[in-house]
Amino acid sequence: MDALDPVFLSRLQWAWVIAWHILLPAFTVGLASYIAVLEGLHFFTRDEIWLRISAFWTKIFAVSFGMGVVSGIIMPFQFGTNWSRFTDATADVLSPLMAYEGLMAFFLEASFLGVLLFGRKLVPRWAHFFAALMVAFGTLLSSFWILSTNSWMQTPQGYTIVDGRFQPADWMAIIFNPSFPYRLAHNVTAFYITTGFVVLGVGAWLLRRNRAPEEARMMVRMALDLLIVLVPLQILLGDLHGLNTLKYQPTKLAAIEGIYDTEKPAPLTLFGIPDDEAAEMHGAIKIPRLGSLILTHTWDGEIKGLKEWPMDERPPAAPPFYAFRIMVGIGFLMLFIAIAGQVLRRGGRVYRPDGWFLRLCPWIAPLGFVAVIAGWTTTEVGRQPWTVYGLLKTADSVSPSLTGSDVALSLALYIVVYLIMFPTGIAFMANLVRKGPVDGNLEPDAVESGRPERPFERAAQQANAAGKAEG
Amino acid sequence: MALDLVPLWTLLLALAVFYYVVFDGFDLGVGILYGLAPVECRPTVMNSVAPVWDGNETWLVFGGLGLLAAFPLAFAIIIPAVYFPILIMLLALVFRGVAFEFRFKNEALRRFWDGAFCGGSAVATFAQGVVLGTFIQGFQVDGRHFTGTSFDWVTPFALLTGVALMFGYTLLGATWLVLKTEGELQAWSRRAGRVALIGVLAAIAGVSIWTPLEAPQIHERWFSWPNIAFLAPVPVITALIAIAEWRALGRDYEVTPFIAAVGLFLMSFLGIAISLWPMIVPFHYSLWQAASSESTQAFLLIGTLFLLPVILMYTAWSYWVFRGKVRGDFGYH
């Protein structure tokens, strides 16, 4: 492929800006719900420990939410700058869904987030709890709309085509398109699990250093309770999502499984090296019949191979094939950790500061993000060569005026800026984690000098105050 | 279903853009002035916009998504045509935004983030002015696509509007500082405001002479009879506001300068609207031709009419909370 191909470079640019952006919602969606639970526990029990844990995570939430907004402002403009033909073709159907996502995120940021961050002493206790619930609800609504948009691109329905452009025919059919319920459930569960492992890792890290041990213990316990339910559930949801993909996006499924020739019964390829040119899998390690069993839930179900479709309608097999295996591998590692945590809880061995479990947990913490990126790569590259599956080619979606060097230049600039912004933000959050949960008295004052401050600022001051209090 | 929603969406979008220009305009202008103000006053300069800037900036997303949803053809033609100005603007806004958050972190990096704040504000403003100039000049279009190059925006006119907007936002920023500060900084802001005002007036005059000379349609719109009689008040009112602004900056009025600056923006906004109406892609597609389907506009309108008033009320409330003069010794440090 030509290195200065505007289509390929535009895809890289899209991948770059959205891969960084998706890390934030992957964390904030779960964290918002966790904070709502903590605020609820504090509201009903009046136990101060919930307040301390909530205040700790709220500071981190504020930073990640801020970065999510900043990197999110970039996203809608990408549709215009690089994907103008896609925009022209699909806007009548997709733009309201995207606009609703923006409106809801904005609505949430403008109202309830302010109350959650600064309003504890300004509003009644129930109102503060309510604000936490609304922030959590808002992040879920944002996920709802953006995943509906994405799902429609995967499994479009409810439209008519007039002069080569998609026109809305049935909004309910558009929003609740066939892959949407599975994608929404699979994604939101992934976001919750990602957050769960971060909370587990941070709790373990604090416990090992004997910082705020009471709070840290509670974090570990809550995370383990969540994960033992959600990780098995996620594996089930993933299976269902896979069946849905087999039905509606057979080429993606064939790429994921690395199947070039239609097989009946189909084996399961554990590993191999896909070769799209030769249309065969090199060095494949296969388990007979397992493919049919997993994908069709029958002993000898047929799975269509990529060769059933013309060359120019096949996705590249390697990225979905590898990314899917990374995601599933992480999934089973997570299952092991979740079960091990439950086993070790008997007798309280799990909380032993020098035990292998707490030593391992901080290293596991980032894996949820890796799995999210891998899963996203699987589904997005697997949709190729289409932007709207089966209907609109990616090559026909890019802005016609762009040259390869235009996009190379813009991509280089995005890379430089993101490599400054994101590490700074992550270092900042890591610093907040190091300070640990602090005394409830260091909770944000409702309004200082007549006005609340910016979230980062607030968090930094508390971190400093906490540092002083410790020292 | 014969209800024509285009006028309503035009109004909503125009209000969103104007809101953005005035509100993010003043905080971008304050960002530009940050690098020019006396060093000891700079914390106060930054504090004057700290609580409100991010809310202001989110209206850019509103404007972008509004254009995409209501007039997708315009979005698909205009945005690729200004590929680099949009890119530069977004990156400058990112830098400027995180500068607010990161600059206090440590002394060594503070100078870097201070530069990012001032420089980011200036560059973002210039890029927006270039987008405006490119928009007024029109685009090379074939069918439903922009067919020019990604550097078509490099024209003397677009560069002029880029500089013009820098003066404009600086005027808004200076008058905002007059409103929000006192003492030495306020006096400095009054002088800065007058300098910016001269630049703004020169720019308005330049653009007003240049556009009708370049575009016969615009010449026709303003100078044919009877339009010239109906439209004569536009330049006259603009001139009166300019005089009021000059005088208000020279006396102890605190609110009037900002209002007069908004007035100048409103008149310029009207002037552009009169010149281009009813085109949204000058001079190829009208608002109606570029509109999304009725069903699309109606579907989005329902939620917008519900959410927008709530957002506006909250915004008004937050400005109320942060009313009064700011000082440098608290808040950001």
Contact A213/B at CB under 8 A: no
Distance spanning both ends of chain B, measured CA to CA:
56
Residue A468: pLDDT band (50, 70, 90) is: very low
Q: How far is CA B135 from the centre of its chain?
A: 14
B76 vs A73, A87, A103: nearest CB: A87
Question: What is the rounded CA–CA span in Å between residue A84 and residue B76?
Answer: 5
Strands (E) in A70-222, as ranges, are: 159-162, 165-168
Residue A388: pLDDT band (50, 70, 90) is: very high
Cis-peptide, bond into residue A232, ω within 30° of zero: no
Residue A466: the pLDDT is 47
**Disruptive mutation site among A17, A84, A109 for chain B (greatest number of B CBs within 10 Å):** A84
Question: What is the rounded CA–CA span in Å between residue A235 and residue A237?
Answer: 5
Question: What is the rounded CA–CA span in Å between residue A38 and residue A220?
Answer: 14
Please report how many Cα atoms fall inside a 13 Å half-sphere around the Cα of residue B61, on the Cβ side: 24
Residue A445: the pLDDT is 40
Contact A160/B at CB under 8 A: no
Give the ipTM of the model, two decimals please: 0.87
Distance from CA of B50 to the nearest CA of A (A): 7
Mean pLDDT of A427-432: 86
E strand or H helix at A52: helix A48-81
Mean pLDDT, contiguous 10-residue spans, chain B (333 residues): 82 92 93 89 83 80 90 91 93 84 68 87 95 90 88 91 94 93 90 94 92 88 88 91 92 90 93 88 88 90 88 80 70 39
Chain A residue with CA closest to B291: the answer is A92
**Disruptive mutation site among B65, B152, B304, B329 for chain A (greatest number of A CBs within 10 Å):** B65
> Residues B51, A457: contact at Cβ < 8 Å?
no
Residues A290-344: pLDDT tens digits?
888 888 888 888 888 888 889 888 999 889 999 999 999 999 999 999 999 988 8
Residue A368: pLDDT band (50, 70, 90) is: very high
E strand or H helix at A272: strand A268-275
Instruction: Report all structural domains of chain B as residue ranges with CATH numbers, in order of start.
Output: 6-321 (1.20.1630)
Question: What is the rounded CA–CA span in Å between residue B80 and residue B142?
Answer: 13
Residue B332: the pLDDT is 39
Contact A447/B at CB under 8 A: yes
What is the pLDDT of chain A when averaged over all its residues?
A: 86
Question: What is the rounded CA–CA span in Å between residue B95 and residue B111?
Answer: 13
Which residue in B196, B197, B274 sits closest to B235, CA to CA?
A: B274
- Write the DSSP string, A294-312: HHHSSSS--B--GGGS-GG
Q: Enumerate the residues of chain A whose CB falls inside 8 A of the CB of residue B145.
A: 84-85, 88, 399-401
Contact A65/B at CB under 8 A: no
E strand or H helix at B54: helix B53-70
User: Which has more confidence, A92 or B323?
Assistant: A92
Measured in degrees and rounded to the nearest 5, phi and psi for residue A42 equal: -65, -40
Mean pLDDT of A92-115: 82
CB contact under 8 A, B149 and A401: yes
Which residue in B16, B66, B17, B32 sits closest to B170, CA to CA?
A: B32
Neighbours of A160 (CB within 10 A): 11
Residue A440: pLDDT band (50, 70, 90) is: very low
Residue B103: the pLDDT is 67
CB contact under 8 A, B295 and A171: yes
Question: What is the rounded CA–CA span in Å between residue A93 and residue B69?
Answer: 9
Distance from CA of A95 to the nearest CA of B (A): 5
Residue B3: the pLDDT is 75
Residue A18: the pLDDT is 93
Residue A83: the pLDDT is 93
E strand or H helix at B282: none
**Disruptive mutation site among B9, B53, B68, B289 for chain A (greatest number of A CBs within 10 Å):** B68
> Residues A297, A244: contact at Cβ < 8 Å?
no
CB contact under 8 A, A401 and B321: no
Burial of A282 (0-12, 13-18, 19+ CB in 10 A): exposed
> Residues B272, A68: contact at Cβ < 8 Å?
no
Question: What is the rounded CA–CA span in Å between residue A20 and residue A73?
Answer: 13
Measured in degrees and rounded to the nearest 5, phi and psi for residue B151 equal: -120, 15
- Write the DSSP string, B315-332: HHHHHHHT-S---SSSS-
Which residue in B285, B61, B85, B76 sits closest to A79, CA to CA?
A: B76
Residue A459 has pLDDT above 60, yes or no: no
Q: Retrieve residue B1's tokens.
A: 């279903």
Residue with tokens 């029958």: A298
Q: Enumerate the residues of chain B whose CB falls inside 8 A of the CB of residue A168.
A: 293, 295-296, 299
CB contact under 8 A, A103 and B146: no
Mean pLDDT of A91-106: 88
The residue type at B249? L
Q: Enumerate the residues of chain A whose CB falls inside 8 A of the CB of residue B315.
A: 110
A280-287/A386-388 β-pairing: unpaired
Q: Retrieve residue B35's tokens.
A: 């690098």
Residue B99: helix, strand or coil by DSSP? Answer: helix
What is the DSSP-derived secondary structure letter of residue A169? S
Contact A77/B at CB under 8 A: yes
Residue A454 has pLDDT above 50, yes or no: no
Question: What is the rounded CA–CA span in Å between residue B73 and residue B50?
Answer: 36
Question: What is the rounded CA–CA span in Å between residue B228 and residue B210?
Answer: 17
Residue A113: pLDDT band (50, 70, 90) is: confident
Residue B94: the pLDDT is 86
Residue B60: the pLDDT is 87
Residue A447: the pLDDT is 35
Residue A70: the pLDDT is 80
> Residues B323, B35: contact at Cβ < 8 Å?
no
Residue A242: the pLDDT is 86
User: What are the residues facing B142 on neighbouring strands?
Assistant: B145
Residues A157-203: pLDDT tens digits?
999 999 889 999 999 999 999 999 999 999 999 999 999 999 999 99
Helix axes B53-70, B294-321, angle to 10 degrees: 170
**Disruptive mutation site among A67, A103, A426 for chain B (greatest number of B CBs within 10 Å):** A103
